[in-house]
Structure 1
Amino acid sequence: MKLPSLALASAALALAASPVLAGPTFERATAPLMGDESEAVGAPILLLAALGAAVVAGAVVVASGDDDDNPVSP
């Protein structure tokens, strides 16, 4: 009975200690941007809005589907 308890304790210790041992070993670097450029400048907002509207419309259609819950067996 001691072996499962020991295995559980060592697994819990490993899970708790892994973020501490990993620690920040390097300085985080940022991506270089040229001038005032941004990745969101050319984003197709209209396409994203249409896709979102289609997803919402699809969810409404699925949710309001056929409510035929009558029993089939006599």
Structure 2
Amino acid sequence: MTTSTQWQRTLDAVVELAEEIARLAPDCADRAVQIVRLIRAVDPPDRELEEDALAVDDVLDGPDVGPLRRSRPADLA
């Protein structure tokens, strides 16, 4: 689950790419504008779901969680 900050950064990056495509390939400008409109219509993540996801991430920060056993970088261990 992404946080609202990550979500916004991703949307901004997609808009920038679409605008660049429109500049570099004028024949694709109409499609790039459609992408921008779609991105701007996307609703932000639900705040309650975001908080639940953060709580789950806190639980999963243990070194031996479940069958996957998330590994930690050596400098954090």
What is the TM-score normalised by the length of structure 1?
A: 0.31
What is the TM-score normalised by the length of structure 2?
A: 0.30
Which has a greater percent of helix?
2
Higher relative contact order (CA 8 A, sep 6+): 2
Asked which structure has the greater CA Rg, the reply is 1
